[in-house]
Amino acid sequence: MRLLAREQGDAARIELRPGLRATGLDPWRRVASFHDGSDVDWDHLVVATGAAARRSPWGETDGVHVVRTLADAAGLRRDLAAGGSLVVIGAGFVGAEVSSTARAGSAWR
């Protein structure tokens, strides 16, 4: 079961890339790399890999969020309120909720 169908993503202007494996992250250039050779620039990045989230192996960097606690979510909210592009790594429930919330919030600005 998918939480977000491609048509819903398209309607919300959310670019879905199912099946792509993240292979690298450059937090200084703010670029995520994928196994197909593509790169995505980002202003904010959420690593949402599943129920047992772990801290990023790329270290603590501004704009990179792992959402595990209410404080994590509050930090993400502050960054999302500033606007900019967002990359979500992970397609589980938390990743889908972050994408949906970020998209809905863009209408508030």
One-letter identity of residue 99: S
Q: What is the reported pLDDT for 1? A: 43
The yes-or-no verdict on residue 43 having pLDDT over 70 is yes
SS3 35: coil
Pull the structure tokens for residue 104. 């809905």
pLDDT value of residue 107? 46
In degrees, to the nearest 5, what angle opens at C-alpha 37 toward C-alphas 9 and 58? 85
The average confidence (pLDDT) of the chain is: 78
Distance in angstroms (rounded) separating the CA atoms of residues 59 and 86: 18
Q: Closest Cα to residue 19, out of 33, 30, 34?
A: 34
Confirm if 58 and 27 have CB atoms less than 8 A apart: yes
DSSP state for residue 20 in the 8-state scheme: P
Q: What is the pLDDT of residues 58-101, one digit of tens each?
A: 667 788 887 777 888 888 888 888 887 888 877 677 777 788 77
Q: Does the pLDDT at position 108 exceed 70?
A: no
Per-residue pLDDT tens over the stretch 1-12: 456 777 887 887
Residues 50/58, Cβ–Cβ less than 8 Å: no
**Model-level pTM?**
0.45
Per-residue pLDDT at 53 exceeds 80: no
